Structure 1
Amino acid sequence: MHTIALIIGAALAAGDAGGAGVRDLPVGWRVLDGDTVEAPAPAAPDGPLLHWRLRGYDTPEAGGRAKCEAERAAAERATLLLDALIRSAQRVELRTETAQCMWGRPCATLVIDGVPAAQLLIGAGLARPMGPREKRRSWCAP
C-alpha cells in the first residue's frame, strides 16, 4: 500500500479559498463525486491523474447515471460535502492499493484528519457502507 499524506498547509496551492479554514484542493486533486477523486499516484506525484474509487462506501450517482431526481440531488450533496471536508482538513491521506476496484478503477481509502471519508459520509446520511464485492442498491424509492 502506498500513501499520499498531505499536510494541507504545505501541499496546497497558494492562497485561501475565501473562508476561514477553507483552502484550495491539493494541487492536482479534484472531487469527481462523493466516492471518487482525481489525484496523482503516490509513486508518481508529477505523473498522470487517476480516478480513485474510494473504498468502504457508496454514494448516489450523479448526472445521467442517476435513476431519479432524489438520487441526483443526494449525489450533489455528497460531492459538495467531500469537497468541503477535504478543503477544510489539516491532513488528507489517500491510501492507495495495488488491486483495482469495480469498473477497473484504482482503489484507495481517503482519510481526512484521521477519520475515513466513508465514516464521515455515512454519518452524514449521504453514503452507505459497501464491501468490495457488494452490488449497488438503488437510491430511488421503489
Structure 2
Amino acid sequence: MTKNAFPIRTKSRRLMTIAAIAAIGSSALPVLPAQAACYDWPLREYRGEFAYDGDTIYVAVPGLPGEIANMSVRVRGVDTPGIRGSCESEKQLAQQARDYARQRLKSAKAVEFCEPEWGRYGGRVVATVRIDGSPLDLELINNGLARPYDGKTKRQPWCQG
C-alpha cells in the first residue's frame, strides 16, 4: 500500500496542472479514432482506497510532473450523497455509494476515463468512468446510490424537510 499526500488545492497548483496538460497535449492523452477519447489512467491509493466517495476517484495521470499528476476525477452524469451530509440518512447512503465504488474499483480488471474535461469546482477533472466496460454512473443510479446530474442544474437535497 502506498501513501500519497492528498493534493493541495491552490490556485497556482491548478494553473500549473492546466499548463502541464496543455503542454503535453495529445502525447499524454491520445485520441481514439471514431470513438470517445478514453484513458486507462492508473488508480492511486489514498489512505488505502481508490475513491473518496461514490463519485470521486483518485488517479495518477502519467506524463505529468509528480506534484500535479495525482488528481481526483469526478464521475460525470451523477450526484451521490455527501459523506459529510446534512442528515443521517444522507451520510448512510453516501457511505453505501462510496463502498460500492471502492469495491468495484478494487475488483476491476480495467477502468477507463472517457472524454475528460476540467470541472467547475476544485480543479477536478470530470469524466465518464467505465469499470470493466460498464458505466459507473448508470450502476450507481440503478442501485439507488446516485441521481442523474448534468452539472448545470441545481442539485436536489438528499435530506427531507
The TM-score, its normalising length taken from structure 2, stands at 0.66
Count of matched residue positions in the alignment of Structure 1 and Structure 2: 122
Look up the SS of the partner of 1:77 in the other structure.
helix
Aligned-partner Cα distance in 2 for 1:87–1:94: 16
Task: Output one character per residue of 1:18-73: Cα deviation in whole Å (capped at 9) or x when no partner.
Answer: xxxxxxxx45472010011111125439653112111110000012xx11000000
Task: Output one character per residue of 1:83-142: Cα deviation in whole Å (capped at 9) or x when no partner.
Answer: 111112221112252332344422122101111110110010000000021211111122
* Aligned match of 1:85: 104
Note if 1:60 corresponds to 2:60.
no
Aligned-partner Cα distance in 2 for 1:59–1:73: 11
Aligned-partner Cα distance in 2 for 1:139–1:27: 29
Aligned-partner Cα distance in 2 for 1:79–1:27: 16
Bigger drift between 46-55 and 83-92 goes to: 46-55
Alpha carbons 1:28, 1:49 under 8 Å: kept: no
Note if 1:131 corresponds to 2:150.
yes
Q: Percent identity?
A: 33
Alpha carbons 2:44, 2:58 under 8 Å: kept: no
Alpha carbons 1:53, 1:101 under 8 Å: kept: no
Look up the SS of the partner of 1:44 in the other structure.
coil
* Aligned match of 1:4: 39
Look up the SS of the partner of 2:159 in the other structure.
coil
**Structure 2 portions without partners, runs of 5+:** 1-25, 30-37
Aligned-partner Cα distance in 2 for 1:45–1:116: 29
Bigger drift between 121-130 and 98-107 goes to: 98-107
**Structure 1 portions without partners, runs of 5+:** 12-25
Tell me the amino acid that sits aligned with residue 4 of structure 1: Y
The TM-score, its normalising length taken from structure 1, stands at 0.74
RMSD between superposed Cα atoms in Å: 2.4
